[in-house]
Amino acid sequence: GGVTTIDPGFKNTGSCESAITFLDGEKGILRYRGYSIEELAEKADFLEVAFLLIFGELPTKEELLKFEQDIKEQSVVDDDVKKIVDAFPKSAHPMGVLSSLTSALTAFNPSSVNVDSEEDVYNTVCKIMGKFPVLVAWTMRKQKGLPLDYGDDSLGYVENILKMMFKKPNQEYTQNPILVNALDKLLILHADHEQNCSTSTVRIVGSSHAGLFASLSSGISALWGPLHGGANQAVLEMLEGIKEDGGDTKKYMAKAKDKQDPFRLMGFGHRVYKNFDPRAKIIKKAADEVLADLGIDDPVLDIAKGLAEEALSDPYFVDRKLYPNVDFYSGIIYRGMGIPTEMFTVMFALGRLPGWIAQWKEMRNRKEPIGRPRQIYIGENLRPFKSITER
Ligand code: CMC
């Protein structure tokens, strides 16, 4: 028989059992595999967290070294992929480019769809962990008209990402440890967030037994939207818009509260966090540190602070439990680092990669059935066909 109730947006529908991420939206708790996000952000690095999410335990020294080495070995992207990158117009949105390139990787690595053994899966995981940062860097470099290079094996995972993104031709590249540390933190904070829109997409696409890279490509498309990962770009564009309009935060607060006006305060509110977003707390501190260290005095940051203060004491936002989310502050750090606004959601994808992989792997290991929701039909009843001359 058919279903009699629906749950639009799955606000109250569980889709799976999962042992990866624990989230308590009322209390503002986020844990990966039982470890608190606060502790991980402070004490772990991104690759350790990736290993933890994907394989379930923190790696030993040897395991981490091996993982890092195996990733490096797999980090060469077929040179022909550069032709695909070149075929995009410079104006293409980086998320569209990244999703296409991730999907294209299947064509260049056909064995990546094998899941017959643990070893097959491990190799595919190392492949995507190695190649994805190259795709991210190429996506940005293409936009800036910079040559497409490969990474530097002597560097750590996150150091290498920054160098691949920013290295100029014929110039020495010097690492800024403050930026490396901030990016490491940002990636950790974004690494997983249980059954959000993009993760559910990865699981549902993967549930048809499409390969990992195809599933990830769909996840990237889901993340692109402004109600999800695209919010970090939207936040910055909103803040800049307010600045250009004279910096009147009160005017925009009023717009956000006006039900006739589609404007929303980007970076505010969350489907699950109804108290505070623990990631936002950590990231706000990191944003202050990075900007102070870089000596950046950004008027956009003052507007952000003003909005946050007003919203936190405004009954509209308080009653609806709308608090600044992770994306409210992440864009400010990315901007300080010199990352173009359109690349912000790509950086989110880079961080979310291990989470998507972990969730896909869990779904396959648990032999979950194909995802196939039901519906309540509200269309026409049976009607006779009218030939085109009668219409
Ligand atoms: N500005 C103004 N009003 C808002 C906002 C906002 N940012 N967010 C929610 N509301 C209002 C909404 O109008 C509704 O009011 P009412 O009850 O009077 O109709 C109420 O608050 C509940 O909102 P909802 O849209 O039903 O809540 P949701 O759980 O469906 O949406 C959300 C969650 C995050 C999509 C939404 O809060 C939003 O659009 N925020 C802005 C976009 C954003 O920052 N997204 C990033 C989310 S965090 C990163 C990630 O995980 O992707």
Decide if 166 is inside a domain.
yes
- 196 with 171, same domain: the answer is yes
In this structure, the residue with its CA closest to atom 31 of ligand 1 is 271
- 103 with 241, same domain: the answer is no
- 356 with 329, same domain: the answer is no
- 259 with 159, same domain: the answer is no
3-class DSSP state for residue 378?
coil
Total count of domains within the chain: 2
Residue 241's domain spans which residues?
231-337
Decide if 199 contacts 355 (C-beta within 8 A): yes
User: pLDDT of the chain along its 391 residues, tens only?
Assistant: 689 999 999 999 999 999 999 999 999 999 999 999 999 999 999 999 999 999 999 999 999 999 999 999 999 999 999 999 999 999 999 999 999 999 999 999 999 999 999 999 999 999 999 999 999 999 999 999 999 999 999 999 999 999 999 999 989 999 999 899 999 999 999 999 999 999 999 999 999 999 999 999 999 999 999 999 998 999 999 999 999 999 999 999 999 999 999 999 999 999 889 888 899 989 988 888 888 888 888 888 889 888 989 998 999 999 999 988 988 889 889 988 999 999 999 999 999 999 999 999 999 999 999 999 999 999 999 999 999 999 9
- 26 with 162, same domain: the answer is yes
Decide if 119 contacts 111 (C-beta within 8 A): no
Give the residues surrounding ligand 1 with Cβ less than 6 Å away: 9, 193, 196, 227-229, 231, 256, 264-271, 320, 322, 325-327
- 236 with 221, same domain: the answer is no
Decide if 64 is inside a domain.
yes
- Ligand 1, atom nearest to 269 Cα: 37
- State both tokens at 276: 């505070």
State the pTM of this model.
0.93
Decide if 202 contacts 208 (C-beta within 8 A): no
Residue 249 Cα to ligand 1 midpoint, Å, equals 19
Burial of 84 (0-12, 13-18, 19+ CB in 10 A): middle
Decide if 304 is inside a domain.
yes
- 46 with 129, same domain: the answer is yes
- 211 with 285, same domain: the answer is no
